[in-house]
Chains A and B, each alone.
Chain A
């Protein structure tokens, strides 16, 4: 008997998870705006603009972490190229923001400042239409999906897996970074896109715009979580886990892993791109360093710290690592790399299931004692 769509989605999460999710949304969509706008800045309960930007940013990272977990935790494919998809989404949306500057740039031209600086007379063809939000939104989804699909098709078809796949994705991202660093490719070179002024006509620095972007990130994170939960619980998700655990056996049973891998890979890339598009207006800059090897590997460590193969783990990991990062880089900038390096080692050596796994073991041992 086929269940209706609503029931299927509702049954994706149990009652406790729905409650947690509702609390999260109430916090981010109601409590934070009220605390930011209505409470006086000197009050203890005031949420500062800095905190909103920071948490908005981390929620975007959390979406990326969930996307990474779908491909790594559930399908066993470690991608070192997720920074590329994140940046592609960011660049597409960044161009929209560049066009929104209009004639308010330092050269008072219709073209973005960096193009005037390079003495370009018109927009390159691939950026045509980038002044429309709808077109850009489409671009954010379609272009990274296309890149992921084509690359994934060729990689998975010839059964590149394990570290080979990781290294090839790393090389791909590296090549893209070199390309984006060039001035003549039309991506703003070293500086990337920055100095944004407004979005849909609203000032990008106003508290209300910030709160809307913050709320959108929270909503997107919640949607990603529900969708991912539903996906991994479905039959499709079970085949994915089977591919992770014994790919050749799955093939012998009669499944073709290619399409399963390709779908989850492309989906993961699109989620990253959406996160990138939400990230750029909040942070106010996108440049090629987002595609550096280090960034993509850091995504993997968020997932590993939180716990692979669970959906809440990556979110916890993204929050824990990034909060630690913003604290360290302010208080002890020279020790951050030591800490991060140790984190990589400790998590892989001692916490193979991350914080979530640690929590579970602790609870079990307490339960055993009681």
Chain B
């Protein structure tokens, strides 16, 4: 450790270093023949002397020259001896050493390999990552040596992989077998493509190696399928969160008032347009803080949708209590009016709602599994809204009243619960949650006047599946439906998946007509 540190220092200050580099090899770098140059690079790399890095770097930057039979590094008006690093008098007519693309590639690999011996773990890690899937057989001994010295577990893993890759073309079947076995633990598609030639009889003569390669490819396939399925489960969860935000409000309104609100999808639309309005506002007045329009839109989306909900409840729905089928038609009429109003206000085309910068990108969990930030945030947001609703329903006076009215309207009225006011408030709450759902939706799908129509059938399915007025049922139904739909989509395509889901729900209703979490006892019909 101390030794390599010293070497580093020597390098940095360009003090006369030990004459460790082989002078003849350095001279060979200036050879006319490219192959001999490559051979020299490879030989210098094998020595694993960090000093070679300096020469390679100079060569890569075209500042390596041949002057009077000596290889010199010329940096501006200073010159150094390439072998020792000793400053020299600037030569008169230095002859540049040509570097073609092939050599540049070799140099890059060689430099990466040499950096494996760097004292900084970060540099070593970067270099080990760079060598993944690029390690040629000539690097094998070097990698083996680096592996021996390495103490950091993560770098060690990477090096093992690189070493195994480099050994795949080794002449010794034993080395190849060991390499294949080491690679079998990977789950990256590039490793799989490296292993594939070894499963071919005409390319790999050794039976044991071939069989090992075949098993390894199978293992990797299995793991890749697993990560793929994990990815699907995750996108299913995020779809489920959207469904949940849509269905939560519906579950409350249907549970409390026994009302099917066909305009619920349009309340989602109101929320999404609130995001659009807030974005336009920020663009016009606070362009510097544009990334923060989304948090600012949260209260707007909630209250705008809640306001629309209150108006709907006060003007139309309250006159229709107890007539559910008629409510269905009346709210459908309301939804038509809302859609047409959105067209009149914002135009018939979809509007553009941009993701804030902090929502783009994602977390890379595995080589082929990336979780996008916007989906993660939506799942988190759904959880947040869910816990808020839970607290509201179970820990506040309003929630208690709402539950009381859901269970027994007449009795609740008798003991003094203002049922009409609770209806309005519950409807406003349901509508507001739908608005929040629309806000989340605006981040992952198109925002347009009839965007709500596509979600309403799904939201109803969640309510039907979960059981009426059951928050827990809605949660399980939404997440289950989301994950199930996405997993099906993986092997059957989106449309077939949708149809299968609907058929499954219809069959499910046969068994449990009141949903997953049916009310028992006296509340059951």
> In the bound complex, do residue B329 and residue A168 qualify as a contact, i.e. CB atoms below 8 Å apart?
no
Q: Which of A138-167 contact B (CB under 8 A)?
A: 151, 154-155, 157-160, 162-164, 166-167
Considering the complex, give the chain A residue whose CB is closest to the CB of B500: A175
Distance A310 CA – B448 CA, assembled complex (angstroms) = 40
Contact partners of A181 in chain B: CB under 8 A: 495
Chain A facing B: main interface SS: helix
Q: How far is the CB of B181 from chain A (nearest CB, A)?
A: 45
Please state if A344 and B453 are interface contacts (CB–CB under 8 Å): no
B333 touches A175 (CB 8 A): no
Chain B residues with Cβ under 8 A from A160's Cβ? 509, 513
Which stretch in B146-154, B166-174, B319-327 binds the other chain? B319-327
Q: Once the chains bind, are B329 and A304 in contact (CB under 8 Å)?
A: yes
A345 touches B513 (CB 8 A): no
Minimum CB–CB distance from A7 to chain B (whole Å) comes to 37
* B side interface size, CB within 8 A: 41
Is the CB–CB distance between B457 and A342 below 8 Å? no
**A181 vs B498: C-alpha distance in the bound complex, in angstroms?**
13
Residues of the A chain whose Cβ atoms lie less than 8 Å from the Cβ of B8: none
**Which chain B residues (467-525) contact chain A, with CB distance < 8 Å?**
495, 498-499, 502-503, 505-507, 509-511, 513
Chain B residue numbers with a CB within 8 Å of A334 are 340, 343-344
Q: How far is the CA of A338 from the CA of B262 in the complex (A)?
A: 16
When distances are taken between beta carbons in the complex, the residues of chain B under 8 Å from A174 are 457, 502
* Residues of B close to A171: CB separation below 8 A: 457, 460-461, 502, 505-506
B334 at the A/B interface (Cβ < 8 Å)?
yes
Contacts of B262 in A (CB 8 A): 297
Which residues 326-350 of B sit at the A interface, judged by CB distance below 8 A? 326-330, 332-337, 339-340, 343-344
Confirm or deny: B464 has a beta carbon within 8 angstroms of a beta carbon on chain A. Answer: yes
Residues on B with beta carbons closer than 8 Å to the beta carbon of A349: 316, 319-320, 330
User: Considering only CB atoms, which chain A residue lies closest to B468 in the complex?
Assistant: A164
Q: Can you list, as one digit per residue, whether each of A297-329 has a CB less than 8 Å from chain B (1) or not (0)? A: 100110010000000000000000000000000
Q: Tell me if A249 is interfacial: C-beta within 8 Å of chain B.
A: no
Residues of B near A304 (CB, < 8 A) are: 329
B499 touches A175 (CB 8 A): yes
Residues of A within 8 A of B511 (CB): 158
Asked whether B260 lies within 8 Å of A163 as measured between CB atoms, the reply is yes
Looking at the assembled complex, report how far the CB atom of B458 sits from the nearest CB atom of chain A, in whole angstroms. Answer: 9
Q: Is A282 an interface residue (CB 8 A)?
A: no
Give bound CA distance, A345 to B456, whole Å: 19
Q: Is A352 an interface residue (CB 8 A)?
A: yes
Q: Are A297 and B332 CB-contacts (below 8 A) given A174-B502, A337-B337?
A: yes
Tell me, rounded to whole Å, the shortest Cβ–Cβ distance linking B125 to chain A: 49
CA distance A172 to B324 in the complex (A): 20
Whether the pair B513, A297 counts as a contact (CB closer than 8 A) is: no
Asked whether any CB of chain B lies closer than 8 Å to the CB of A49, the reply is: no
Closest-by-CB residue of A relative to B320 is A348
CB of B502 within 8 A of CB of A163, answer no
Determine the chain A residues whose CB is within 8 A of the CB of B464 once the complex forms: 164, 167-168
User: How does the 8 Å CB contact mask read for A172-191 relative to B, with 1 for contact and 0 for none?
Assistant: 10110011011000000000
Contact between chains at A163 and B328 (CB < 8 Å) = yes
Interface status of A170 (Cβ within 8 A of chain B): yes
Which single residue of chain A is at the shortest CB-CB distance from B502?
A: A175
Chain B hits for A254, CB < 8 A = none
Checking B323, B340, B343, B513 against A164 with a beta-carbon cut-off of 8 angstroms, the contacting residue is B513
Also in contact, A338 and B340, with CB within 8 A (given A166-B325, A344-B332): yes
With A337-B337, A342-B337 in contact, do A170 and B457 touch (Cβ < 8 Å)? yes
Partner of B326 from the list A167, A297, A348 (CB cut-off 8 Å) is A348
Query: 0/1 per residue, A78-103, Cβ < 8 Å to B?
Result: 10000000000000000000000000
Contact across chains for A175 and B503 when beta carbons are under 8 A apart:
yes
User: A13 within 8 Å of B by Cβ?
Assistant: no
Given contacts A348-B320, A349-B330, contact A337 B339 (CB under 8 A): yes
Contact partners of A352 in chain B: CB under 8 A: 326
CA distance A154 to B506 in the complex (A): 9
Contact residue among A159, A301, A348 (Cβ-Cβ distance under 8 Å from B513): A159
Q: Is A201 in the interface zone, CB < 8 Å from B?
A: no
A167 and B329 contact, CB distance less than 8 A: no
* Cβ of B499 to closest chain A Cβ, rounded Å: 5
**How far does the alpha carbon of A344 sit from the alpha carbon of B331 in the complex, in Å?**
8
**Interface positions of A from 38 to 82, Cβ below 8 Å from B:** 78
B340, closest chain A residue (CB) = A337
Instruction: Tell me which of A78, A151, A179, A343 contacts B328 (CB under 8 A).
Output: A78
Of B319, B336, B343, B505, which one neighbours A344 at CB under 8 angstroms?
B336
Find the A residue at minimum CB distance from B254. A163
- Most chain-A Cβ atoms within 10 A of its Cβ — which of B262, B343, B503? B262
Q: How far is the CA of A334 from the CA of B342 in the complex (A)?
A: 12
For A335, give the chain B residue with the smallest CB separation: B340
Complex CA distance for A342 and B329, rounded to whole angstroms: 11
> For residue B258, which residue of chain A has the nearest CB?
A163
Q: In the bound complex, what is the Cα–Cα distance between A162 and B453 (angstroms)?
A: 21
User: Which among A158, A160, A171 has the greatest number of chain B C-beta atoms within 10 A?
Assistant: A171
Please list 11 pairs of residues, one from A and one from B, whose beta carbons are closer than 8 Å in the complex, sorted by A's number.
Answer: A155-B506, A162-B325, A167-B461, A168-B505, A174-B457, A175-B498, A337-B337, A337-B340, A340-B333, A341-B336, A345-B334
The 7 closest A-B pairs by CB, nearest first: A344-B333, A341-B336, A341-B337, A337-B340, A341-B333, A348-B330, A348-B326
